[in-house]
Structure 1
Amino acid sequence: MEGIEVLINGNDCNNNNTYSLFEQDGKHFKTKQIQTIDPSNIRELNILLDLLMLEDGCKQMSDEEILHLVRQRHIATYRLEAILGDKQRAVSIRRQIIEQSMKSMISLKNIPYTNYDYGRVYGACCENVVGYVPIPLGIVGPLRMNDQEYYVPMATTEGCLVASTNRGCRAISLAGGLHSWVYQDGMTRGPVLHFVSAEYAVQAYQWLQDDYNFQLIKTEFESTSRFANLKSVHSRIAGRYLYIRFCSITGDAMGMNMISKGTEKALAEMAKHVSGLERYCLSGNFCTDKKPSAVNWIEGRGKSVVCEITIPAHIVETTFKTTTKNMVELNRSKNMIGSSVSGSIGGNNAQAANIVAAIYIATGQDPAQTVCSSYCMTIMESFGDDLYVSCTMPSIEVGTIGGGTDLEPQEACLQMLGVKGSSKTNLPGSNSAELAKIVCATVLAGELSLMAALASGHLVSSHMKHNRSKTNLTSCINC
C-alpha cells in the first residue's frame, strides 16, 4: 500500500499536515484524508472509529483519544490490553480513567505500574490491572529438612514474623534438622446434584457405589488431562440433593481448573445413567475451597503433610530461653484446650496461617487458600528433658506450575527452593509435594519460636523491637 504514512502520538512521522489511510473494503481500497492536529486535541469521533478498525489504528491515536473512545463506550476498559496490543499502555490509560472519573477522591501515583511484565498477568492472573503492590520479601534459613537445606522466601508486612521464624530455623539446624512427609495427595471438587425427589437422589447415590460405574466416570474424568488421576468419589445426601466429592491427583498443578474440567465431564456421563436429575452445579461447597471446613480437616485436601523433630533440652534453654516443661504445658493449654474452648476447626496451632500466607504470596499460590491450607495440629511432648515437636497439616493446597507461579518474582522464589515447574528427573507432582513439605517444615519453625516467646514472656518486647512502626510516631505521642 504505497502512500501510507504513520502517525505516532498524533504526529505525522514525515512532518506533513495530511497523510493517506487505506481502508479495506472487500478487495477494494479507498483513501481518506485525515488532518493531523495537536496531540492535546481530540479528532472527530468518526475519524477515531475509522482508525479503531485498522490493525495498527490505536498506535496512531493519543492517549486522550483512546480515553475519549472509552468514555463514548466504543472501547470497554477490560479490553484495553487486547485492543491496544500494548499492555503497559493499557494499564496507564486505565489508571487515567479511574483517576479522572473519581477526580480528587483517588490517586494512584503511589501505586507503581512501570517495569512490569504484564504479558504474564494478562489472561492468567488478574483483570482491569492498574499496577502492582510491592510487598517486602524476607528470607528464613537455612531450614534443614530431610537432610537438605532451604532458604525460604516469605512475603509479609508483619514485623517480627521473619525474625521469629528464622530463630526457629536456627534451632532446627542446631538439632540436626527435621523430617517431613506427604502422606496423602488429592485435590477435590464437590458438586451438588438436584433431583426431583430424595428417592432419585438415593438411587444415584447407590449407582455411584458400583465399581463398574465408578470406572465409567473415572474414564471420562481422566480424558480431560494427562495428569488427572481420579482416586475416589464420596457422596452425601441432604433431602433431594446429592453432594459428590471428587478427589484427584493433579501433578504439579494446584489443580482446581484441572479437576473442575474432569468433574464436568464425569457429571455429563453420570447424567446419562441416572433418573430424576433436574440440574447440577459444579461447586456445592463440599470441596471445600477457601472456606473453613471440617471435611478438609478430617479427610484432607491437596497435600496432607506431617513433620517432626526432637529438640535437645540445652537448645531449648539457650536458643529459646525457656524449658521443655514450659513449652509442653503451654502447647496443651493454648493449642489444645484453648482451641477447643474457642470451637476452632483446624486451629490447634499458634500461628500456622502467618507462615502459610507469607510463603503463598512469595511463591505465587492463591492467598485465599490459606484458609484451609493453614489447618495444623501442633503437638509438643517431653522426651525426657528433650522437646518433641510435630506439625500435621492435612490440607496444604499448592502448585508449582500455573497461575501466579508464572509471574517472574514468584517464579524466582520457587527457583530459590528448587521446585519451579515440573521436575525434569522425578515423577510429576514431586515438586509440588516438596513445596508442601517445605511449607509444613517452616510452619514448625514458626510454631517453635512463637511458643517459646510466649513461654518465656518475650512476645511483647520482641514485637516492640521489630513490629512497631517508627513512621509518624511524633504525631502519636499517646501511643
Structure 2
Amino acid sequence: MLSSRISGFHKKSVQDRLEIIAEKTDLTKDEIKILKKYGSLDEKTADTMIENVISTFDIPLGIATNFTINDEEFFIPMATEESSVVAAASNAAKIARDCGGFYVNSLGPKMIAQIQLVNVKSPSQVKFKILNEKEYLLKKANDQDPILKKFGGGAEDLEVRVLETPLGYMVVTHLIVDTRDAMGANSVNTMAEVLAPEIEKITGGRVYLRILSNLADKRLVRAYTRIAPSAIGGEEVIEGILNAYTFASCDPYRAATHNKGIMNGISAVAIATGNDFRALEAGAHAYASTYGQYTSLTRWEKDTEGYLVGFLELPIAVGIIGGATAVHPVAKIALKILGAETGPKLAEVIGAVGLAQNLAAVRALATEGIQKGHMSLHAKNIAVMAGASETEVDEVADKMVEGNQVNMEKAKQILEEIRR
C-alpha cells in the first residue's frame, strides 16, 4: 500500500528524492529523464529555494510588445501557460499607444504589518497607550533594519484599529513601513515580531498574530488610458465595452471572471520577475471587496468627446531585490528586459499591463467574443496533443478554427486527412 510518510525526506539529495518518488509512483525511465532536465534554474539553486525539490517546472516566457507607459517604451516579459494572454496584452497596448498609451502613478512602496492584541478590557485606553508610544515603537522597529532606513525607507507611521469580534475586542496595530525597492515581507514581519512584546508591556494585553497584510492599500497603483472611437472600432464597440464593464461592476459572479482577466497579465509579469503573484492576487481580490460587495477593479467611461476612458486601481506590492528575484536567473534577465530600475516603477508597469489585459478582454467580449482569439491559440495545443508534427500544427489548428470545432477528436480527424 502506498504511504506518503518518508522519514528524513527533506534531508536527502535531489537525486535520492527523485528515485524514491519514481519507485513509489511507478515513473517510467522517460518520465524520470524529463524530470532530470534542468533549464536556466539549475538543480542546486532550485534546492535552495524550496523544500523537497525533485525537479523544476518550466512555464513559457513571452514578451508583450507595443507598450507605452508614462511616455516610455517597454518590452514586457510575461510568464504564463494560458493561450492568448501575451497576444491580448500586445494588441491592447497597440490600440492604446495610438492615443498616448498608458499613464500610471503609485502611492509608493509602503507595506502594513499587523500586530493583533487580545485580552483587552478598555480598547480606547489601549489604543491611546500604543499611539502615545509611537516614536519609541518606530525607533525600535527601525533598529532592526538600519540599512533600509539608510536608503530612505523604514518604519514611518503607526495606525491602531479597534475590532469588535465574537471573542471580544481586539486592538490591531498597523506598522507602516517604506520598503523601497523590495516587496518587503521579511522586513515588516521582523519588525512586527520585535514590537509584539513591547506592545504587550505597554498595554498589559496578549499579542498573537504579528505579520504583514497582503491588502497593501498604502501601495496602490492607478493606471489610466483614453482611446479614440476610431482606434477601438467605433461607437458600437465602446457601447459594448461599457455594458461589459457595468455588468462586472454590479454582479460579483461576473466581476470574478472580469478581475481574473486583469490578473492574467499582472500575475504573468510577477512570475516573470520573481515576485509573489499569490500575494498580488489576494490583495487585488480583497481590494475589490473594500466597499462591502465584490466588484470590478477597473472602471470604463465615455468622456464628453466620446473617447473611451479606462481606469484601474489596486494594491501592487512588488520588488526588484530580495526573494526569488535575487536568485532566479531568468527573473534577473526579465527585469533587465523590462528596464524597471525601482520597485515602484515595476509596480506601475504591472498596473498598465493589468489595464491592457482588461481592455483586450472587454473589447473581445463586446465584439467577436472571447473564444475566437483564445481558441485560435488553444487549437495549436490541441494539435500537438493529437500528434501533429511541427510542420502540421498550423494547418491542423487553422482547420479546427475554421470549422469552429477545437477538440481532440476533430484534430485527429484533420490530421488523418492531411496525412492521407
TM-score range relative to shorter protein = 0.7 to 0.9
Maintained 8 Å contact 2:70/2:103: yes
Deviation digits for residues 358-390 of structure 1 (CA, Å, limit 9, x no counterpart): 111111111311323445621111122221111
Structure scoring higher RCO (CA < 8 A, sep ≥ 6) equals 2
Identify which of 72, 85, 97 aligns with 1:173.
97
Deviation at 1:279, TM superposition (A): 4.4
Deviation digits for residues 1-31 of structure 1 (CA, Å, limit 9, x no counterpart): xxxxxxxxxxxxxxxxxxxxxxxxxxxxxxx
Q: What residue is the counterpart of 1:192 in the other structure? A: 116
Deviation digits for residues 257-306 of structure 1 (CA, Å, limit 9, x no counterpart): 1001111112222222222x2442324xxx533xxxxxx3xx715x2111
Structure 2, unpaired ranges of 5+? 1-5, 149-153, 286-295, 388-406, 412-420
Q: What residue is the counterpart of 1:49 in the other structure? A: none
**Residue 157 of structure 2 aligns to a residue in which SS?**
strand
Q: What residue is the counterpart of 1:96 in the other structure? A: 19
Deviation at 1:121, TM superposition (A): 4.1
Q: What residue is the counterpart of 1:414 in the other structure? A: 335
Q: What residue is the counterpart of 1:61 in the other structure? A: none
Identify which of 180, 186, 191 aligns with 1:257.
186
Instruction: Please say if 1:78 is aligned against 2:15.
Output: no
Identify which of 138, 142, 148 aligns with 1:218.
138
Q: What residue is the counterpart of 2:209 in the other structure? A: 281
Q: What residue is the counterpart of 1:315 in the other structure? A: 231
What is the TM-score with the length of structure 2 in the denominator? Answer: 0.78
Q: What residue is the counterpart of 1:336 in the other structure? A: 249
How many angstroms apart in 2 are the aligned matches of 1:300 and 1:182? 11
Instruction: Please say if 1:325 is aligned against 2:253.
Output: no
How many angstroms apart in 1 are the aligned matches of 2:260 and 2:306? 22
Residue 119 and residue 404 in structure 1: after superposition, are their counterparts in 2 closer, same or farther (change >3 A)? same
Residue 451 and residue 186 in structure 1: after superposition, are their counterparts in 2 closer, same or farther (change >3 A)? same
Residue 273 and residue 179 in structure 1: after superposition, are their counterparts in 2 closer, same or farther (change >3 A)? same
How many angstroms apart in 1 are the aligned matches of 2:258 and 2:135? 38
RMSD between superposed Cα atoms in Å: 2.8
- For 2:78, give the aligned amino acid: M
- For 1:282, give the aligned amino acid: R
Comparing both structures, which one devotes a greater share of its residues to helix? 2
Deviation digits for residues 196-235 of structure 1 (CA, Å, limit 9, x no counterpart): xx3155532221232xx11111111111113222333232
Structure 1, unpaired ranges of 5+? 1-70, 81-89, 290-295, 424-430
Maintained 8 Å contact 1:113/1:130: no
- For 1:230, give the aligned amino acid: E
- For 1:445, give the aligned amino acid: A
How many angstroms apart in 1 are the aligned matches of 2:96 and 2:255? 28
Maintained 8 Å contact 2:144/2:190: yes
Instruction: Please say if 1:158 is aligned against 2:82.
Output: yes
Maintained 8 Å contact 2:65/2:75: yes
What is the TM-score with the length of structure 1 in the denominator? Answer: 0.69
Maintained 8 Å contact 1:335/1:378: no
Q: What residue is the counterpart of 1:117 in the other structure? A: 42
Maintained 8 Å contact 1:232/1:248: no
Maintained 8 Å contact 2:78/2:271: yes
**Residue 135 of structure 1 aligns to a residue in which SS?**
coil
How many angstroms apart in 2 are the aligned matches of 1:183 and 1:365? 19
Identity in percent: 20
Deviation at 1:136, TM superposition (A): 0.7
Aligned residues: 362
